[in-house]
Amino acid sequence: MAAVTTTRQAPVLPPPSGRAGFGGTLRSEFTKIRSVRSTYWTLLVLLAVSIGIGAAICAGTAANWDQTSAADRATFDATQVSIAGLFYLGQLVIVVFGAIVLTAEYSTGMIRTSLTAMPRRVTVYAAKALVFAVVALVVTLVAAFVAFFLGQALLASTHANASLSEHDVLRAVIGSALYVTLCGLFAFAAGAIFRHTAATITSIIGLLFVIPILAHLLPSSWYNDIARWLPDSAGGAITATVAPQDSHLFSPWGQFTVFAVYTAILLIVGGILFRRRDA
Amino acid sequence: MIEVRGLSKRYGEKIAVNDLSFDVVPGKVTGFLGPNGAGKTTTMRLILGLDYPNAGSVTIDGKRYASLANPMREVGALLDAKAVHGGRSAYNHLLCLAQTNNLPKRRVGEVLELVGLTDVARKRTKGFSLGMSQRLGIAVTLLGDPKILMFDEPVNGLDPEGILWIRNFMKALAAEGRTVFVSSHLMSEMEHTADQLVVIGRGQLLADCTMEEFIARSSGQTVRVATPQPDQLVKAVADAGGSAVNGADGTLVVSGLVAAQVGDIAFEHGVRLHELTVVRASLEAAFMELTADSVEYRGTENEQGQPPGSAQPGTQPGTAERPSELAAQGQHSREGGI
């Protein structure tokens, strides 16, 4: 460090090949997400929780199958049970992951360096969201399929296990990954609004977990009226394959669309604020 | 060329920058000076489009920063060396920034070499000292090989070796014909590096001139005289319209007269001189005076843009005492011209 370095002229840069835009920013955001340890830890926890919890529930169910009543056996949803770890607990992990994608840039100050390199903010925002969504979807799909196959193998002795060729099963498995990814994007957008990790995670957990619990405390006639508009109803609806469809809900994809629209609105609000506010 | 025109920025009630206009001309080191809280960092953030102005505009070669085709190839900016994700390695930090402007991957290795961080390229930046972080920040500015470089307080908190390194680096960059815009609250720092000065206080422009002009306008010059007959000389100088006060080491500091006049007066009165030296005020002193005035004159609109020292030196009442203070700051004074 003591040496006084003078500038040696670095080899000349080739002339610019065009305008800095979405492609380069996309590569940049992928470099960012793959170059911090928190990404690997978070995704590892996501896989462990999703697969581990699903396997534990399936193993427990198989062990107690003899004592299970005929009524319970009739409504037993082998698919939903095997991926429950993903869409209940995995969604918590993805909310944290989605939130920190943007809020970590604010807490470290990196956002100012990022926006100096690439001042077109909508481009940065969109690239960040897309890279996060792709990474989250790939990992949640892996988690969903591994959890499903492992769970069905553990349930084999009950002969109640499901297979992908059965009605709605593939929709439930893929849908769980899509739903959890959407939860992550929901948190990402909230991160753009709050720009603070703790505030973002707290508010999203409130929206996705606490409000539904409170809603259940309402008189059931009220609850039935609002259930289809709750953000988390999508998770239960999209993963169900056996239980009779709750008549107060939309179809699985309809329910999923409700949540997708909420997420889209939040993403747009987050994008507008990201574009307009001082960094 | 950076053109700042009528720039104003408020944060809530606080006016950070108020109707600021100046140019940063190509191929020179422009020092951007002002006390802490004068609005230097805010101005730089406005130039880079990180914050939006309430009024006015900033263009870089005629374009808004956000409209530049490849911003990193036009401007390299270091505002805060610690504005990095500590969990990312130096190499990946540079890589993710280079990718936004489609710069080749090999460029990352080149700039790491340039700032001497090759050995720690794969280390996470969390463990970097301030000096290393500063080098990393400079590496970022060099990625796009830009014509314009901007540094905000680059030597703040650095040890003497780090300061020397940064200073030499900036000089070398300027010698390559680049435009360097560097802020500081320390005048003494600019003294060795800047050709051009932009001075602000309380968000307003106080001076925009060359270094030489700044010193001349702000404080004028004084003459240091050593004589065994001080009483006679003080009287003779006063008669001639100047003023003389006691300086350091038994010398006299004469203001209001040039060296030749002082010499002639001494000769005419038969006063023996042992020393006759032109003393120019140090930048530090000139700066203190200017910014102190900016506080003093607050609220009187028409005084703001005009450096108070632009009046003829020595004609302002109350300036006689000042040169003796300046002369006392031995190591900061420059003697015998620039």
pLDDT in tens, chain A (279 residues): 444 444 455 567 888 888 999 999 999 999 999 999 999 999 999 999 999 999 999 999 999 999 989 888 988 999 999 999 998 999 999 999 999 999 999 999 999 999 999 999 999 999 999 999 999 999 999 999 999 999 999 999 998 899 998 889 999 999 999 999 999 999 999 999 999 999 999 999 998 888 888 988 999 888 888 888 988 889 889 999 886 666 788 889 999 999 999 999 999 999 999 999 998
Burial class (CB in 10 A: 0-12, 13-18, 19+), B185: middle
The shortest C-alpha distance from A126 to chain B (Å) reads 13
> Residue A146 pairs with which residues in a beta bridge?
none
Q: Measured between alpha carbons, how far is B51 from B230 in angstroms, rounded to an integer?
A: 59
Beta bridge mates, B254 = B223, B244
- Among candidates A2, A20, A29 on the partner chain, residue whose Cβ is nearest the Cβ of B69: A20
User: Would you say B251 and B226 are in contact if contact means Cβ atoms under 8 Å apart?
Assistant: yes
Closest partner CB to B101 (pick from A14, A24, A104) = A24
Please give the radius of gyration of chain A, using alpha carbons only, rounded to the nearest integer: 22
Amino acid at A192: A
pTM comes to: 0.83
Closest alpha carbon to A49 in A143, A185, A157, A176: A143
- CB-defined contacts A:B, below 8 A: 149
Task: Give the pair of three-digit tokens for residue A230.
Answer: 């709750």
Nearest to B173 among A7, A113, A117 (CB): A7
Q: Which chain A residues are closer than 8 Å to B85 by Cβ? A: 32, 36, 104-105, 108, 110
Test B144 with A13 for CB contact under 8 angstroms: yes
**Quick one: B2-209 is in which CATH superfamily?**
P-loop containing nucleotide triphosphate hydrolases (3.40.50.300)
- Three-class SS of residue A8? coil
The residue of A7, A36, A37, A101 whose CB has the most chain B CBs within 10 angstroms, and thus the best one to mutate to test that interface, is A7
Helix and strand element counts for chain B (H, E)? 12, 14
How far apart (Å, rounded) are the C-alpha atoms in residues B227 and B242? 17
CB contact under 8 A, B100 and A278: no
H/E element, A160: none
Q: Cite the DSSP H helix spans in chain B.
A: 40-47, 71-74, 90-100, 106-115, 130-142, 160-175, 187-191, 211-219, 230-239, 259-268, 283-296, 322-328
Residue among A19, A25, A104 whose CB faces B85 most closely: A104
Q: Which residues of A touch B96 (CB under 8 A)?
A: 28-29, 31-32, 35
Q: Where in chain B is the domain with CATH 3.30.70?
A: 221-280+311-335
Residues 39-78 of B with CB under 8 A from A: 45, 48-52, 65-66, 68-73, 77
Nearest Cβ partner for A35 among B79, B89, B110: B89
d(CA A86, CA B166): 52
> According to CATH, where is 3.40.50.300 located in chain B?
2-209
Q: Looking at this protein, which amino acid is placed at residue B192?
A: H
User: What single string gives the DSSP state of each residue in B99-155?
Assistant: HHTT--THHHHHHHHHHT-GGGTTSBGGG--HHHHHHHHHHHHHTT--SEEEEESTT
Residue numbers in A near B151 (CB within 8 A): none
pLDDT tens digits in sequence order for chain B, 338 residues long: 999 999 999 999 899 999 999 999 988 899 999 988 899 999 999 999 999 999 999 999 999 999 999 999 999 999 999 999 999 999 999 999 999 999 999 999 999 999 999 999 999 999 999 999 999 999 999 999 999 999 999 988 888 888 888 888 888 888 888 999 999 887 777 877 888 999 999 899 998 998 878 876 655 678 889 999 999 999 999 998 888 888 777 888 888 888 888 999 999 999 999 999 887 766 677 777 777 766 544 444 443 444 443 333 333 333 333 333 333 333 333 333 33
Q: Is A184 helix (H, G, I), strand (E, B) or coil?
A: helix
Is B201 in a helix, a strand, or coil? Answer: strand
Q: Which residues lie closer than 8 Å to B329 by C-beta, 6 or more apart?
A: B282, B284, B285
Pick from A1, A26, A42, A116 the residue to mutate for testing the B interface (most B CBs within 10 Å): A116
Q: Which two tokens stand for residue A76?
A: 């037993």
Phi, psi dihedral angles at A109 (to 5 degrees): 90, -5
Closest among B113, B246, B254 to A9, alpha carbons compared: B113
B132: Cα separation from own chain's centroid: 24
User: What is the SS3 assignment for B87?
Assistant: coil
Nearest to B85 among A8, A36, A117 (CB): A36
| A160 alpha-carbon distance from chain centroid | 29
* B165 vs B178: CA distance, rounded Å: 18
Write phi, then psi, for B87 (nearest 5 degrees). Answer: -85, -5
Structure tokens at B152: 């905000």
Residues of A whose CB is below 8 A from B134: none
Interface pTM (ipTM) of the complex?
A: 0.90
Q: What is the CATH number of domain B221-280+311-335?
A: 3.30.70
Residues of chain B neighbouring A121 (CB-CB closer than 8 A): 66
Instruction: Note whether A10 contacts B145, CB cutoff 8 Å.
Output: yes
What's the Rg (C-alpha) of chain B?
24
